Chain A
């Protein structure tokens, strides 16, 4: 019967399946290539000296990434301090007053915020924090990153609280507990694993971000512990060294990349395990 004979249809079926399998598995290739390459290039760069010394002047060999490590740590911590209370508070509000007008506005706003390119958020942090005082700072970088953390923390907090059965709240209230204590002492502890996972995910999201830091934290080749001064960070360092013409800088960048990827990987794995281990069953 020509084209639509059973044999031909079966052939198309097998061909299609083969194509699907091949194309799907091929998508893992970039991952393998990238991880492999980073491992190969970065491994040789990492040693104790690398981790604790400051970068050498441009063109000289040697040097390390100590300032970037400290800077990343500083910026991420401050961003978390800014984002976590607001994020959890807003998440509680959204789950407790879900039908209010404020909740609707906030939800729309969060969708916009979540989809905003990180460089635009960097511009906003620049305009709000850097421009008025005319100098770059780690703090302004943290502000930009905090903007990115908020949607993740708020969403996971709200989802976690939504899973709490209503009778939990009622049981606490029936004992004469004031409302705010019900939230703080019963609801939040029961949802702790979900909320902490959300925080870890938000940190994993921002730890590798470069664009928002380009004109906020800006970078600094010296060690800096002051959040109101420009500071270097791992992603910034990688960007600057990767695009420089010196081989030595490239080496440092590979080492830094390995560390960065490793940390983000660990955070993501931890989040998954944490959910399994600490989840409160009802």
Chain B
């Protein structure tokens, strides 16, 4: 029986007077990959940015309704603690330019002032890099700057930085859109393996990607959740006409 890790109740999001998300009700099951899809401007990026409360950093941004992480209202949790449990990887790889690979992976701990013994740190770094399929490639150059890696490697570094915090949920915002096809496919394989340990919500423009790796897909249109169901079923037999139009490429 699947348990729900994240759920929303009549969730609304605004930028000033402009409503970006309308009455979203969704349940995210644990240890699954959920793809969020829809045409540009449908609110999908806003949606995941609300999951870790990064949305509220934009001026004039505010929300309505509730989001629950493990049945706790995320507005009642301090955003700092929330973000340790819900990690994020961004569209463009953004390793910290002044830090080495090692320091980038452990950055979440360092920046939070969490003190660890040397052995603990080494263990976390190795585990996170292995989890992101990057260990073999960088294990001898851990102290080089993170920005000297290729695009695909940088993105995997960002993934390992996120999973080093051992979050429950990983939010991925179009993580392969800035990468070449080979790096993209490596990362897709990685994401597929990651669902064993984490729940993954991935925003993607790439329908083939969603079809390949996700268990469930949510289709957003103009701020509303039009359809949400098992990926296979949605792609072969969508119930909502807007979903069907999007999938068949009538608009993007």
Contacts and interface: CB of A to CB of B under 8 A. Distances in A.
Contacts of A226: none
A140 B110 CA distance: 41
A170 B113 contact: no
B107 A175 contact: yes
A170 B90 contact: yes
Chain B: number of interface residues, binned into ranges: 20 to 34
A185 B110 contact: yes
Interface string B60-101: 000000000000000000011111100110101010111000
Most chain B Cβ neighbours within 10 Å, of A171, A174, A189: A174
Contacts of A58: none
Contacts of B161: 171, 175
A171 B94 contact: yes
Kindly state the interface size class of chain A when it binds its partner. 20 to 34
Contacts of A177: 80, 108, 111-112
Contact of A171 (B82, B90, B98, B113): B90
Contacts of A175: 83-84, 87, 107-108, 111-112, 161-162, 165
Contacts of B82: 176
A167 B80 CA distance: 17
Contact of A173 (B81, B83, B96): B83
B203 interface: no
A168 interface: yes
Contacts of A174: 52, 54, 83, 87-88, 90, 162
Contacts, number: 75
Contacts of A170: 54, 57, 88, 90, 94
Contact of B80 (A178, A189, A192, A281): A178
A116 B82 CA distance: 49
Contacts of B79: 176
Most buried by B among A171, A178, A182, A280: A171
Contacts of B218: none
Interface in A166-208: 167-168, 170-178, 181-182, 185-186, 189-190, 192
A182 B90 contact: no
Contacts of B59: 99
A176 B94 CA distance: 16
Contacts of A282: 97
Nearest to A184: B111
B112 A176 contact: yes
Contacts of B111: 172, 175, 177, 181-182, 185-186
Interface string A141-185: 000000000000000000000000101101111111110011001
A84 B116 CA distance: 33
A168 B96 contact: yes
A101 to B, nearest CB: 14
Contacts of A173: 54, 57, 83
B158 interface: yes
B108 A190 contact: no
B8 interface: no
Interface string B94-136: 1011100000000110111100000000000000000000000
B147 interface: yes
A168 B94 contact: yes
Nearest to A169: B57
Given A186-B111, A281-B147, A176 B84 contact: yes
A227 B107 CA distance: 43
Contacts of A176: 79-84, 108, 112, 165
Contacts of B83: 173-176
A45 to B, nearest CB: 45
A182 B57 CA distance: 13
B96 A165 contact: no
Interface string B128-164: 0000000000000000000100000000001001100
A275 to B, nearest CB: 16
Given A174-B54, A175-B87, A167 B94 contact: yes
A171 B52 CA distance: 12
A19 B176 CA distance: 59
A177 to B, nearest CB: 4
A281 B165 contact: no
Contacts of A167: 90, 92, 94
Interface of A: 99, 165, 167-168, 170-178, 181-182, 185-186, 189-190, 192, 280-282
27 contacts: A99-B59, A165-B94, A170-B57, A170-B88, A171-B158, A171-B161, A172-B111, A173-B83, A174-B52, A174-B162, A175-B83, A175-B84, A175-B87, A175-B107, A176-B79, A176-B108, A177-B111, A178-B112, A181-B111, A181-B112, A185-B110, A186-B96, A186-B98, A186-B111, A281-B97, A281-B147, A282-B97
